């Protein structure tokens, strides 16, 4: 899917040495400003993954995920969030970073990937359907503001 990206846009998996990259993200991509401690903890964790699409040092889109472990099941990748900067939507970036994240999960031994989205989020539904995801009826419950933005 890297071949389908606009000219000058590349995909990259961020790691522990990329905290400054996350701290330099302009407002408008993530739900809230990047917190240095959270960014460090995320990037240092072997269970957390993030793939970005960038051009000229600017992150335009990302997909983040967490490896879920359970005592009676193989590891699975939970896709935490997918986002694309305004002005860069509908150019294949979200599709590319999401697919790269799913591929990364496979590389590290995950035997499944899953995510949830709001039933009225037409753009997200179209994206996940285009990637061949199998739609399931899941009901989400939250405590202590878990589903609140920012």
Residue 91's contacts (CB-CB under 8 Å, 6 or more residues apart) are 5, 6
d(CA 74, CA 95): 25
Domains along the chain with CATH numbers: 2-130 (3.40.630.30)
Three-state secondary structure call for residue 54: strand
* Burial label, 134 (beta-carbon count in 10 A; 0-12, 13-18, 19+): exposed
User: pLDDT, tens digit, for every residue of 5-51?
Assistant: 999 999 999 999 999 999 999 999 999 999 999 999 999 999 999 99
User: pLDDT, tens digit, for every residue of 28-38?
Assistant: 999 999 999 99
- The structure's pTM equals 0.90
Instruction: Return the sign of the alpha-carbon dihedral for residues 135, 118, 113, 130.
Output: positive
């Amino acid at each position: 899917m890297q071949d389908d990206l606009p000219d000058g846009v590349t995909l990259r998996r961020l790691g522990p040495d990329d905290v400054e990259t996350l701290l330099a993200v302009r407002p408008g991509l993530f739900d809230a400003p990047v917190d240095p401690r959270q960014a460090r903890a995320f990037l240092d964790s072997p269970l957390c993954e993030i793939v970005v699409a960038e051009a000229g040092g600017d992150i335009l889109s990302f997909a983040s995920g967490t490896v879920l472990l359970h005592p009676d099941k193989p590891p699975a990748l939970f896709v935490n969030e997918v986002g694309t900067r305004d002005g860069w939507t509908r150019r294949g970036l979200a599709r590319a970073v999401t697919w790269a994240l799913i591929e990364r999960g496979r590389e590290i031994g995950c035997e499944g990937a899953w995510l949830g989205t709001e039933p009225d989020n037409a753009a997200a539904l179209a994206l996940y359907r285009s990637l061949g995801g199998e739609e399931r009826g899941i009901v989400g419950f939250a405590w202590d503001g878990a589903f609140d933005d920012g």
